[in-house]
Amino acid sequence: MLKVKNLTTGYDKVNVLHDVSINIEPGKISCILGSNGAGKSTLIRSILGLTPVRQGEVWWNGKNLAGEKPHNIIASGIACIPEGCKVFPRMTVAENLSLGAFLESNRSEIKKRLADVYAIFPRLQERQSQLAGTMSGGVQAMVSIGRGLMAKPQLLLIDEPSLGLSPLYVKENFKVIQQINALGTTVLLVEQNARQTLAIADYGYVLPQGRVVAEGRAKALTENDAVRSAYFG
Ligand SMILES: Nc1ncnc2c1ncn2[C@@H]1O[C@H](COP(=O)(O)OP(=O)(O)OP(=O)(O)O)[C@@H](O)[C@H]1O
């Protein structure tokens, strides 16, 4: 579905990703594990066409994305929930969610998607008229995930959904990610929180410093000694 082949890229004169290859299979939850500054967000930026690929290729549904503009990549079925699950604070919950469907003009389809998001997050329906910036970080994270779903993507990229959230909200949102996947959306989860991520993922890549040093089924990675000592303490 999505193949990143031998990707090397970075900023200015420095490369932050080196020869990175990943393969995202449809219907699964895949994850990229790495600590601060490992290059996780840069990988997402390269997939979305925001950071140009210096070497290597990104293939999406059989098409090489070289030179493709970010808005065309988004329109082809990839949505991204950015790091820190940011919302537009002066807009209501419903307005934030509607923005996620900006490529869809059919009003009844938008209404249906909104109903689907409210079914996943009943709390957002209760607060649909509230300004997003006045809500707790955990509820803002739900808005951000909901906004990603409003695009009805084939592939949802989620950049560190646990960042800054209390353990309770992390647990709740990870459950929602599983639920979203069970409803048919392929997920690529980029995280530092290895334990909880591997608990819901099918397959993972370990990217400590811009290079993939280990990959495998989530269960095998959980049992991998190098991964355990680096990420589980
Ligand atoms: N726009 C930019 N210009 C220059 N350097 C950048 C830029 N964005 C990121 N970097 C650098 O690239 C490296 C990788 O950053 P990246 O954000 O991809 O890492 P990350 O794994 O997502 O980490 P974090 O969890 O801290 O966001 C870091 O050293 C960072 O300082």
Domains along the chain? Answer: 1-76+186-233 (3.40.50.300)
Substitution candidate for ligand 1 out of 14, 20, 32, 41 with most atoms within 8 A of CB: 41
Residues of 56-95 as b/e, b for ≥16 C-beta within 10 angstroms? bebebeeeebeeeeeeebbeebbbbbebbbebeeebbbbb
Q: Which atom of ligand 1 is nearest to the CA of 207?
A: 21
Q: Which atom of ligand 1 is nearest to the CA of 44?
A: 18
**Residues whose beta carbon lies within 6 Å of some atom of ligand 1:** 11, 16, 34, 36-42, 83, 160
| DSSP-assigned beta bridge partners for residue 4 | 22, 58
Q: Is residue 168 within 8 Å of 191, Cβ to Cβ?
A: no
Q: Is residue 7 within 8 Å of 53, Cβ to Cβ?
A: yes
| CA 115, chain centre distance (Å) | 22
pLDDT of residue 232 exceeding 70 = no
Q: What tokens does 122 get?
A: 């009943």
Please give the distance, rounded to the nearest whole angstrom, from the Cα atom of residue 34 to the centre of ligand 1: 12
Substitution candidate for ligand 1 out of 4, 31, 40 with most atoms within 8 A of CB: 40
Cα 82 to Cα 6, 52, 148, 190, 230, distances in angstroms: 24, 18, 9, 10, 25
Model confidence pLDDT, tens digit, residues 18-46: 999 999 999 999 999 998 889 999 999 99
CB-based contacts of 19, cutoff 8 Å, min separation 6: 6, 7, 8, 55, 56, 211
Burial class of residue 159 in the structure, from the number of CB atoms within 10 Å of its CB (0-12 exposed, 13-18 middle, 19+ buried): buried
* Closest to 43 (Cα-Cα) out of 209, 163, 233: 209
Q: Is residue 42 within 8 Å of 59, Cβ to Cβ?
A: no
Q: Which atom of ligand 1 is nearest to the CA of 45?
A: 18
* Closest to 120 (Cα-Cα) out of 149, 86, 159, 158: 149
- What mean pLDDT, rounded, does the chain reach? 92
* Closest to 62 (Cα-Cα) out of 137, 154, 148: 154
CB-based contacts of 174, cutoff 8 Å, min separation 6: 161, 162, 196, 197, 199, 200
Q: Which atom of ligand 1 is nearest to the CA of 51?
A: 1
Q: Residue 100: which pLDDT band, with cuts at 50, 70 and 90?
A: very high
Model confidence pLDDT, tens digit, residues 106-150: 999 999 999 999 999 999 999 999 999 999 888 888 899 999 999
pLDDT of residue 233 exceeding 90 = no
Q: What tokens does 26 get?
A: 């449809």
